[in-house]
Each structure stands twice: as structure tokens, then as C-alpha cells.
Amino acid sequence: MKPVCLVLGAGAGIGGTVAAKFAAEGYHACLCRRSDQAGLDQMVKNIEEEGGSASGHLINAIEENVLEELIISIEQDHGPIEVLVYNLGAQSGMKLLQETSIKEFEWAWRIADLGLFRVAKTLMPLMEQRGSGTLLVTSATAAMRGNKNQHSHATAMGGRRMLCQTLNAEFAPKGIHVAHIVIDGMVDAPDTLGKMLGEEVFQQLRESRGMEHDGLILPEKIADTYFHLAKQHRSAWTHEIDLRAFSDVAWWNS
């Protein structure tokens, strides 16, 4: 039986690419996303055509018991989840206070923090019984610095960072690796940056800063880092890491 990597938030950017990386390295990749069944099926098909093992699940992570039931069913159907990648984004747009609705603010918290809490409540006891496991959590610059138009996003990501710290404090001594990964820059991803900017502007940005310029973070290289984190020896675990293109200014200098 193959080891299992569960990716929550498996879009065409970081999540799907990380899933493909783990599948290429011998894992069964479980890809989960909220919408686009055709896109999900194609990602699974691409992995299988490359000789990997994968399955797809269309879920709404906010719904009651969905995450909990998903984890239990995967453990039963595919085997123990050795790596869980929490890649659910909580960006609802760059908005000032009066433009930010209570609904948006609460939604960001539910996705960024409550969802991660629910996953941990279900999976950590199973990993603790096994004495091993890895939880890789995608985060953002907003976890480190709050700007005036990021009320919901910065609050949600700051909470996500603190939850990763508390989980690490409790479960690292029990053999479970928790890593908080700050994506401190723009990712060359159509599902995230492309949707935010629009297809035309996104392509212009790729031509001016991406591709051969290496000014946008490549999902394939992010996936390499995620896999490295999952394979670190416990005598030298990384808890927090930030990734950015060589030409970007780091969050603490901008």
C-alpha cells in the first residue's frame, strides 16, 4: 500500500502541483477542491498518465463534518495519511474596512483557521497513535504583516500562523512535523493570481516578470520544497519557512 498525501485546496497552482510531486515520489495523492469537477478529473488523469496514483474529491470545506468524514474515509479506503497539505486560501479581495463585510470576514476565518483546527482535531490523534506524520500549511505574507486593505485576510492568516505554532508545540514532541510555509510573493498560477488579475493582465505579468525572468514563484519549485519538508529528519525539522522569487523584496523590508 502506498503512503497517502492528502491535499486540501488542489487547484492548478500550488495544490495540484504539490499533489503531482508527491504522486511522482510514490505516494497516493488525494486531491480535494471546492469546484470544477472536470478540472479535478483532468489533474487526476494527468498524474495517472505519468504513472502515479491519485484520486479526486469535490468538497465544500466549510460544511459541517465534511473534512472530518473525508479524512476518515481516506484512511479507510487508501490507508494512513502520512502527509496532509492544507492549501485552502482565504483571500476575498483587497478591501478597506467599510468595504469588508462581516460575511467575508467570517468566511476567511472559517477557511483559514476553523478548517485547519477541524483537520487537526481529526487527524492528529491518528498520527499520534502512529507516532509520525506531517502537516504542511500554506500561508501568505499577510500572516506576517497586516496592511490597511487586508482586514479579513491578515486576521485569518495571522490566526493560521498561531495555530500552527500551538500545534507544533503540542505534537512535535510526539513525532508529528508541522510546517508553516509563507508564500511571500506572486505565484505563477492561473487558479489564484490569474483569477485575481484577469487573463490579459496575468499574461502580461508573466511576460514581463515570469517565465525566463524567474520573477514569479514557480509552483513546481514550491512543490520541491514541500516534499523536502516532508522528508526532513526530525533532528532538524523546519517549522516556518518563507519562499519568494530572487528579485522580490522580503516581507520585513517592504
pTM: 0.95
Are the C-beta atoms of 56 and 48 separated by less than 8 Å? no
- What pLDDT score does 132 carry? 98
Q: What percent of the chain has pLDDT over 70?
A: 100
Report d(CA 151, CA 163) in Å as an integer: 18
Report d(CA 21, CA 222) in Å as an integer: 10
**How many CB atoms sit inside 10 A of residue 134's CB?**
21
Average pLDDT, the chain: 95
Which is nearest to 166 in space by CA: 157, 178, 182, 156? 178
- What pLDDT score does 197 carry? 77
Exposed/middle/buried for residue 176 (C-beta within 10 Å: 0-12, 13-18, 19+): buried
pLDDT digits (tens, 9 = 90+) for 156-179: 999 999 999 999 999 999 999 999
What separation in angstroms does the CA of 153 have from each of 141, 168, 186, 204?
Answer: 10, 22, 16, 26
Q: What percent of the chain has pLDDT over 90?
A: 87
- What pLDDT score does 65 carry? 96
**How many CB atoms sit inside 10 A of residue 86's CB?**
25
Q: Where are the domains of the chain?
A: 4-188+219-253
Report d(CA 219, CA 196) in Å as an integer: 17
- What pLDDT score does 93 carry? 80
**Helix, strand, coil in percent for the chain, rounding step 5:** 55, 20, 30
- Grid coordinates given for 206: 508573466
Evaluated on CA atoms 10, 13, 15, 21, the torsion sign reads: positive
- What pLDDT score does 34 carry? 93
Residues in the chain: 254
pLDDT digits (tens, 9 = 90+) for 101-145: 999 999 999 999 999 999 999 999 999 999 999 999 999 999 999
Residue 202 vs residue 49, higher pLDDT: 49
Q: Which CATH superfamily is domain 4-188+219-253 in?
A: NAD(P)-binding Rossmann-like Domain (3.40.50.720)
Residue 196 has pLDDT above 90, yes or no: no
